[in-house]
Structure 1
Amino acid sequence: MKILILKRDKIGDLLLTTPMLSHLRQSLPNAEIHLLANNYNAWVVAENTDIDQLWIYRRAKSGRKIDFGAVIHQIWQQLQLRFQRFDVAIVAGGEFSPRAVKRALSIHAKRTITYCDESAVCARVSDPLPAPAGEHESDRMLNLLLPLQIRLHEQVINPTFNLPAQWQLFAENWLFGRHISPRKYIVIGLGARRAKKQPTSEQVFHWAAYFKEHFQLDTLFMWTPGKSDNPLYPGDDEVAQPVLDAAVPYIYPFRGALMPALGLIWNARTSIFPDSGLMHFAAASPGGVLGLFAETDVSPSPVQWGPRGAKVAFLEATKSVAEIGDQMIYDKLESLLA
């Protein structure tokens, strides 16, 4: 059987797809599994052994700019995918996406499995499924395997990520240059785009002081580079500045690229991140993560987007992370540090 998985979403979403890939490989060991991702998220599964072939398409639109070369590449790639004559195309997303469904149908697989509603495009889908409610995103994608008569595990399958050697080497060199030992620090990150989801600078100071006094752990303070009004990807430079100005000796700032940041997360004792892609990667790391959520009546809920991993916990605030008391953070962290 020849199967194509289509995944157009962000990096965290693709990481949450790895349990589906793992279960598909175990259930159909002789199947030929392909995955179509974009040039922003494909690196997440570049070393995933559950995939036989990774197809990468260039995103045609960035902000308001259209890359016509990418448009031509996508058309050529669609023809190549048609020639593969897939038995099954699976649109791997927890919600109905008309654009993703149209892309899958254009490949002309014998069967197309996707979540669908009453839209006209769904009339052409061979295996439409109603989008489930009240399930984690990883489980929603696992449910897409049911039309293939693949039974689901009763136990949770956690997302996995293979840290490339060059990012591990970067982390070792970065830590050595600052006289920090692996597992002797905690990462506190921002990177949630909205202030209500992020810890305040006062919280960072309080938490870092507690970790140093009670656990002899330094703090690596991490944030997304750039200004908050960046139309492509808002940064956290303004939010991070008060922490930088304080120059606390046991708080080490890291304003760097995403991929090297993963090396530092992988070598941490544990991490604290607001709901974000980095939270999901930290959940897959050896130290695990404490995830922070806020205003989940209108924002993503931990029911669907909570961290999944061997060592994870989360806290949920009514309106903003600033409401979360320090002692609640310490109590959750002690279970992760045990």
Structure 2
Amino acid sequence: MKLTDLSSILVIRRDNIGDLVCTTPMLTALRQAYPQARIAALVNSYNQEVLHANTDVDQVYAYTKSKHRRPGESRLRAWVKQAWLYLNLRRERFDLVIVAGSSYSPRTIQLASWLAPRHIIAYGASNTLPSPSEKLISVYRESNDHLHEVEAVFHLLRPLGITGLPGPMHVFPDLAARSRFQNYLGKIKGDGKLVGFHLSSRRPDQRWPADKFFALIRSMHQTHGISCLLFWAPGEEGDPMHPGDDNKAAQLIARLDRAAIPVQACSTHTLRELIAGLSLCDQLILSDGGALHLAAALGKPLVCLFGDVNPEHWHPWGVPYKLLQPDTRRVADLQPDMVQQAWEDLNALP
């Protein structure tokens, strides 16, 4: 079988939310190149809503990682369900499996091989080593290629003759969830911009304190008349499985209410709700992470705060943005006036 004659393709992307968002340009290019093919994606329950309503994908297969299992669900049950899913995927006998990512992933290549497709495309460990399988087509990167995650993933399509620059990322808000959030906006929307602020980040070096959020929002409201939507990861800070920022959000909302600053709290307990809420904002200010890439995929201009993360590889793709990264690589060291200046500079862009 030639790689130009593909009727079924499986893309594996089992990482975090932002990783899957950065894979959507690849999915669009595959759909354009193979309009009649059946294109499927293997993801996890944590990131699967990224592909909600995405017509580039015919079917989404999702398994639950042990750390994301529902309350009361045993690890054994999660593993059995995952094994059953893999067995069903093996029965599909895909023409091509793509191990989507920006680097060599031996465990995922091993899974792709077990699924018994006709061909596999993945990043190789080294172009000096022989391929471990005749069906595996290895792609290699230069060590200093400075590619964005979107570009690195897109480069995996080169064996298919798909080259050039990737297009924009895409996610699609659920209309019912968007409508529910929209009902709240009449209470806060003034004449200024509706700016979203996301308070949370998984990484400690990416977190910005609540008092600095308050100072920034108060100043932006006083000088520019903004209204704001607040987003955060739900849950308690000490939760070992799903740490959240409910307390941080509650304290900030109380201070904003006392200062008579129009604010709408957007408690989003699902990824689908988060995407819907972000879609209502004119612009957003947030740290690097999944929410940043979701906002970029919605086409939102962004001010992004980076800690100890490579901005060349992870900056917002395809949208206007201003990026701040202190020399200390700790977001907490950024001052509110610096962030406001970046936001004002963003609005001054043509």
TM superposition score category, shorter chain reference: 0.7 to 0.9
Question: What's the CA shift string for 1:206-265, capped at 9, x where partnerless?
Answer: 221222122211222322122222221221234445424423321523343243233232
Deviations 1:39-88 (A, max 9, x none): 22112112111112222233355489753333333333323222322121
1:116/1:181 Cα in 2 relative to 1: closer, same or farther (>3 Å)?
farther
Q: 1:268 aligns with which of 270, 281, 289?
A: 281
Q: Aligned residues: percent identity? A: 28
Q: Which amino acid aligns with 1:138?
A: V
Question: Do structure 1's residue 152 and structure 2's residue 171 form an aligned pair?
Answer: no
Q: Which residue of 2 aligns with 1:91?
A: 99
Corresponding position of 2:260: 249
SS of the aligned residue for 1:123 comes to: coil
**Distance change (3 Å), C-alpha of 1:261 and 1:31:** closer
What runs of 5+ residues in structure 1 fail to find an aligned partner? none
In the alignment, which residue of structure 2 is the partner of 1:237?
246
CA contact (8 A) 1:96 1:131 kept: no
Instruction: Tell whether 2:52 aligns with 1:46.
Output: yes
Label 1:255 to 1:62 Cα distance change in 2 as closer, same or farther (>3 A): closer
Aligned AA (1:26): Q
Task: Please give the alpha-carbon distance, in whole angstroms, between the structure 2 residues aligned to 1:54 and 1:103.
Answer: 17
Contact kept in structure 2, 1:307 and 1:313, CA below 8 Å: no
SS at match of 2:169: coil
**Are 1:26 and 2:36 counterparts?**
no
Q: How many residues align structurally?
A: 330
Query: Measured at CA, do residues 242 and 9 of structure 1 come closer, stay the same or move farther in structure 2, by a change above 3 Å?
Result: same
Deviation string 1:75-124 (CA, Å, 9 cap, x unpaired) is: 33323222322121101111222322222111111111112326x99623
Q: 1:183 to 1:257 in 2, by over 3 A?
A: farther
**TM-score with structure 1 length normalisation?**
0.87
Rounded to whole Å, the distance in 2 between the matches of 1:243 and 1:53 is: 41
Matches within 5 A, 1:197-236: 197-236=206-245
How far off its partner does 1:314 sit?
1.4
Q: Pick from 68, 75, 88 the counterpart of residue 76 of structure 2.
A: 68
Cα distance in structure 2, aligned partners of 1:203 and 1:60: 36
Secondary structure at the counterpart of residue 187 of structure 1: strand
Is 2:10–2:98's contact at 8 Å kept on the other side of the alignment? yes
2:343 maps to 333
Matched, 1:10 2:21: no
Q: Deviations over 1:124-164 (max 9, x none)?
A: 361123355421111111011111222223xx522111111
Equivalent position amino acid for 2:311 in 1: P
Partner Cα separation in structure 1 for residue 125 and residue 191 of structure 2: 49
1:110–1:15 distance in 2 versus 1, CA, 3 Å: same
